[in-house]
Amino acid sequence: MLLKVCIDLNSNNYGEFSLFKAEIMENFDLNNDLFLKENFSPEKYKLFNQDIFNYNNQDNSIKIYTSSTRDSELLPGVLKIDKTFGKHNKKLLYKCIPDDKRLPNFLIPYNIPPNFNKLKTPFYILFSFLNWDHQHPYGIVKQNLGSMEELPNFYEYILYCKSLQISNSKFNQITNKILKQQTHQQWINKIVESSSNIIDRTKGYYVFSIDGKTTTDYDDALSFQDNVLSIYISNVAIWLDILQVWDAFSKRVSTIYLPNHKRNMLPNILSDELCSLIKNQNKIALTMDIHLDIDENNNVKSIEKIEFKNCLINLKENFIYDSEKLLKNKHYKNILHIVRDINQNHLFIHNIRNSYDFISYLMIFMNYKTSIILKTNEIGIFRRLEYHYDDNKYKNIEITNEDKQFIFNYGSNCAQYCKYNESNYNSFMYENIKQYTHITSPIRRLVDLLNSIILQKKFNLWDFKMNKGNDFYEKWINELDYINLMMRSIRKVQNNCTILSKIEQYNNNHKDKLVCKGLCFDGMERNNKMKMFNVFIRDLGYVGKYCVSNELIADNNIKDFHYYDFEIYLFLNEENMKKKVKIKLAEKKEC
């Protein structure tokens, strides 16, 4: 009898593994087969993790059926050049440590460049399987990403490690080719002529945006006119539809922001030019109009109604957060007063102190109010969190409102995107938020784009040509597991790269060790002698784990929602050649 068996390895030392019947993924018990029980060894048969092999229990033969490792064109790994292991085809062999900890170390033939660093610093490489004719598998270098000394090389490497290096070349080529047929304004005119539902707000409205100094993808703006507060979001869906490039969309689900550059989800000409709400240019925006009842003292009494529209707008200014020009602007000051009033009855942020909080509040407001409308109409994608808000947990704690807000938001990082269903969507921040969604960043996040498509379809704001937009939505709503997996990986990559960059920058400019104030929270008992705390270090925008003995806890009075000084270190794990951040309590004195 011929069986297809899949092997699942727990580590690269082949010590622990599981076998499954590949066609039904049912556990394959070695105890039920005397030959395999006595003779089977993954290393003996030169099997990699997730290999599928044919096992004939009549003649006890084993033959590899398929191997993703052998078939992969680009495997990420670190090539150590401090020691050689013989030669292959006149090239010295060096040890390669794959990023996947379940793969064994490879030997790779390589000619070191003549200008190589004499310190023999390892390289980040991409390699492929060559053979397994000897004790160790052999590989071949496909691309040298550069020395481990240079942090930007790590940014490139980690994208391959997390399967985030997804090509956008086809999407770019097709989009650029189509856009060359007409000018920007001609495309805008075509959009406006294609729908009678687009309202012209290019005159009589002071529309502006607030973003960071280096921002190029402006996806939101606002205005206030005749007691209507309007939030404008770049209408990416209309651009994809008028260009008919739905089928060219790649597998990227989000823009990735790295310390030295960003990887756009959309072609650059869309994300940074046509869709971006750049001042003095006509733009198409999905608009939420918030109609307010305002008294004679300019105080908000209530929200009368909320409407969605598509508008043609022309921004007067792209402001920078907390810039002098912004703070002096009368339109900003007026809307800031109004938003603070709204926050009294629709509390989403503890205290709107600056323009960062101001924009955050408006985005949360629009996302939340949109989620209510989507849920009422039983459509859309939501954020689901298996977490119940406990207001008592955060009462009477002496931490800043800013840090309290961060802790609320931190809990939402484990939220998952899900389709509409009738279950209750637990709050990600506050008890009064029963459901939540994303719609305010369609330039940089796929889920926001999908929600904007279904919203416009439901309220007849745009007629998607040949049903392509609807097909696009249906395709992706059935791939939410993939979206969740990719979004989780992107968050980790962005956070890791940012903290490594900040620590390296400090170490390059200072001789003393890095010491920062950290907030301990959500401490959990690990065993009878140890406790694990989350530690939020605001100066670095970093949350680390701090495992500490009960004895040290008692000596230093360590407890949740208290501040302590921590030393921050970077170290290299020699086993897997990965840089890690370590935090250590610096002193006993509580801040």
C-alpha triplet 518, 524, 528: angle, nearest 5°? 120
Question: Residue 417 to residues 135, 244, 538, 583: CA-CA distances in angstroms?
Answer: 45, 27, 27, 32
Secondary element (H or E) of residue 340: helix 330-345
Looking at every residue in the chain, the average pLDDT score rounds to 91
Q: In the prediction, which pLDDT does 591 show?
A: 46
pLDDT above 80 (res 116): no
Residue predicted with more confidence, 130 or 401? 130
Q: In the prediction, which pLDDT does 23 show?
A: 84
pLDDT above 60 (res 389): no
- Rounded distance between C-alpha atoms, residue 45 and residue 479, angstroms: 36
Residue predicted with more confidence, 402 or 517? 517
C-alpha triplet 266, 271, 273: angle, nearest 5°? 140
pLDDT above 60 (res 203): yes
- Rounded distance between C-alpha atoms, residue 325 and residue 210, angstroms: 11
Instruction: Identify whether the C-beta of residue 124 lies closer than 8 Å to the C-beta of residue 71.
Output: no
Give the type of residue at 49: N
Work out the average pLDDT over 39-63: 89
pTM for the whole structure = 0.91
Give the model confidence (pLDDT) of 335-349 as tens digits.
Answer: 999 999 999 988 888
Work out the average pLDDT over 544-558: 87
- The first and second tokens of residue 377, run together, are 């109409």
pLDDT above 50 (res 155): yes
Question: Residue 459 to residues 82, 310, 447: CA-CA distances in angstroms?
Answer: 64, 11, 19
Which SS3 state, helix, strand or coil, does residue 34 take? helix
C-alpha triplet 304, 308, 309: angle, nearest 5°? 125
Q: Which of 378-392, 492-506, 528-542 has the lowest mean pLDDT?
A: 378-392
Q: Where in the chain is the domain with CATH 2.40.50.700?
A: 75-149
Give the model confidence (pLDDT) of 248-289 as tens digits.
Answer: 999 999 999 999 999 999 999 999 999 999 999 999 999 999
Question: Residue 349 to residues 74, 352, 405, 523, 561: CA-CA distances in angstroms?
Answer: 45, 7, 7, 25, 19
Q: Is 94 left (phi over 0), alpha (psi -120 to 50) or beta?
A: beta
pLDDT above 90 (res 385): no
- Rounded distance between C-alpha atoms, residue 52 and residue 59, angstroms: 18
Instruction: Identify whether the C-beta of residue 96 lies closer than 8 Å to the C-beta of residue 127.
Output: yes
Class assignment of domain 75-149? mainly beta
- The first and second tokens of residue 51, run together, are 């290999």
Q: CATH assignment of 512-590? A: 2.40.50
Question: Residue 42 to residues 4, 19, 106: CA-CA distances in angstroms?
Answer: 15, 10, 16
Work out the average pLDDT over 525-554: 89
Work out the average pLDDT over 106-121: 83
Work out the average pLDDT over 38-51: 91
Q: In the prediction, which pLDDT does 398 show?
A: 81
Helix-, strand-, coil-residue percentages of the chain, each rounded to 5: 30, 30, 35
